[in-house]
Structure 1
């Protein structure tokens, strides 16, 4: 499968090392032929789990950009470092928006991409990122969040969200609770947004990541991989993208 590093630089000079994946069959006649998906990582950074998901999406027929949010491709398994890096972006919305918009614009500019068929997918912190993109009204057809943080301090207004939103959420997630999901539903209903929530039975935070259980033990965090939930959520997401993008 064809893939390549896609580097771009922020106004402050931070080099973001994202990775671009192409479906099999891409050739010189593929201009504007493919729907595209941005994939945003967990707070750990752009590691193996997210790159594997991006590759799987490319195999399913999408041009995919796995997004580096921290710069220089930095990855960690230390929750304190991850939280520090994530918090820097969450506490500086302009910085966060700059990086999401750079990713969006760079993927949209790829010759093989159909700019009218764009989606964003995120895991954990990345789930919060893509839901934020939807709430900002970016030109996305579809947004998918896996064990993401779904609440917002500023509820979205009717008519802003363009994307249809899918949330894949673990029933036993202690970091983003079912009460948070209920608040998300109320927000989306009030704004008349098209959305769907799947609750995966007995799944905990981070359930899609094969390293989640070990990361949880190492950092004293309530994380756990759940193979059955991960597979079901992935199948749900592929069906959702098929319907909304193709």
Structure 2
């Protein structure tokens, strides 16, 4: 199903959240400053072009080249506005922690929403065609097999908002070689006809109690489904926190919840990846 054709080229700018540029740089700088790096260490980010079912996609890979090949890998599923500077900076932050991080592209190389309406259209197309959604999620995961410096057998998948819904879609599909799943303020509903039966890998849910998009009732339903399927899971709830609490440019941004959820994810990665 998935093409083996994959190559890399010099990164080009993708759709950015200009209002968040200063915060992004400060957040990344803080992480790099706190992470011990050798004198020869270098965080290298690059675009990765790959194909799924004959269509071209452009992801972003970040890793510390001083640490050698076959690094434990974190796959990032982007938010509803496509692969932007936000996911790229999160990938860099993970690379500073010693992981290889690959932000996949679910929409296609030439689809970078520039407005709320375009984001709604692009994400709605995926929600409306679950087969295509799954194929593109799995295609991004499959692309790891042709990328140097990653361990495609030692993978955790994370996602934010729409990307969180994508993480749950992959979990229900039973992605091969994935060791765990992390959902940041994601869409939590389970489509009709899907379930978590057969899921053996652990899951971490990070959620704001005041999220108007995915309510506490939605979270309760999901955890009941996970309980019923015997899935090892934990949920961290941030009281009074809204939806996009990790997104630096969002009105919902909450510094304490962002820091605490990031640390919870790092702890989960440490427990889950080799």
Q: 1:156 aligned to 2:195?
A: yes
Segments of 4+ in structure 1 off by > 6 A?
Answer: none
- Distance in 2 of aligned mates of 1:15 and 1:2: 23
Which residue of the other structure, out of 186, 191, 205, is the alignment partner of 2:224?
Answer: 186
Q: Which moved more, 1:18-27 or 1:230-239?
A: 18-27
RMSD over equivalenced CA pairs, Å: 1.5
Structure 1: gaps spanning 5 or more residues: 214-223
- Distance in 1 of aligned mates of 2:236 and 2:189: 16
Residue equivalent to 1:219 = none
Could you state the TM-score of these two structures normalised by the residue count of structure 1? Answer: 0.88
Q: 1:17 aligned to 2:47?
A: no
Q: 1:165 aligned to 2:192?
A: no
- Distance in 2 of aligned mates of 1:127 and 1:229: 17
SS in 2 for 1:211: coil
Could you tell me how far 1:79 is from its partner in structure 2?
1.7
Could you tell me how far 1:24 is from its partner in structure 2?
4.1
Q: Which moved more, 1:66-75 or 1:114-123?
A: 66-75
Which residue of the other structure, out of 30, 43, 57, is the alignment partner of 2:80?
Answer: 43
- Distance in 1 of aligned mates of 2:244 and 2:137: 22
Residue equivalent to 1:235 = 263
Residue equivalent to 1:57 = 94
* 1:157–1:17 Cα change, 3 Å: closer
Could you tell me how far 1:134 is from its partner in structure 2?
0.9
SS in 2 for 1:138: coil
SS in 2 for 1:212: coil
Q: Is the 8 A contact 2:161 2:187 kept in 1?
A: yes
Q: Which moved more, 1:178-187 or 1:41-50?
A: 41-50
Aligned residues: 230
Residue equivalent to 1:220 = none
Residue equivalent to 1:216 = none
Within 5 Å, which residues of 2 pair with 1:1-246?
1-11=43-53, 13-27=54-68, 30=69, 33-72=70-109, 74-139=111-176, 140-153=178-191, 154-158=193-197, 160-213=198-251, 224-246=252-274
SS in 2 for 1:25: helix
* 1:235–1:189 Cα change, 3 Å: same
Could you tell me how far 1:131 is from its partner in structure 2?
1.0
* Deviation sequence 1:47-102 (CA, Å, 0-9, x none): 12111111111111111111121112543352211010001111111211111111
Could you tell me how far 1:144 is from its partner in structure 2?
0.4
